[in-house]
Copies of this chain bind each other. A is one copy, B any other.
Amino acid sequence: MKVVSLLSGGIDSTTLLYYLLSKGWEVKALIFNYGQRHSKEVELARRIVERVNVKYEVVDISNIKNLISSGSLTGRKEVPEGHYTDENQKLTIVPNRNMIMLAIAVGHAVKLKYDAVVFGAHSNDRAIYPDCRPAFVNDLDRAIIDATEERVELLAPFINKTKDEIVRLGSELKVPFHMTWSCYKGGEYHCGKCATCVERKEAFKLAGITDPTVYEK
């Protein structure tokens, strides 16, 4: 199986990459720069693919930033602190981001004659991000199969896994968690307070795995 996989450099997409490689699949990673607040994410993702010696491309779609987003992931608004399911986390939604990245990945898979596009949506994401839910994955998969005349399909192997299950799997696969980045802020260390930091901490705790992350004091 040959697949194009989205890589953000977070725990989920990095574990996904290791999982795909463990199955012996050929993987091309796409790292998107969509005008994130900080470019740290892109740089760390690049280090991860270089570590496992996987082909990759950094895809710059930052010039559509103003068109699609007024959220805090790309704009000037403050990154909210607190838990993911809080109402204020809606600020962290970049509308339709997954469909945009997946659509480009499908075009690339057609060009490479690869079989599928893969991304790391998981069940914790469902509460807040509609484009991480099973119905979205199923319906977009159908549209992709239509658009490519059955040459490419969409896979989301973690769609029914919780984040702590992903941490456990990553631990078995020897994912270098210390190289992954979750924090919405681009500081030297993880802030420990924004939703994605809170979720990261919880996942390690629930998984019973030592969290190697350095959090700000």
Contact = CB atoms under 8 A, between A and B. Distances in A.
Interface in A131-158: 131, 133, 135-136, 139-140, 142-144, 146-149
A201 interface: no
Contacts of A149: 130
Contact of A146 (B63, B103, B135): B135
Contacts of A110: 68, 95-96
Contacts of A59: 64, 67
Please state the number of chain copies in the assembly.
2
Interface residues of A, number: 39
Contact of A107 (B96, B108, B135, B143): B96
Interface of A: 57, 59-61, 63-64, 67-70, 94-100, 102-104, 106-108, 110-111, 130-131, 133, 135-136, 139-140, 142-144, 146-149
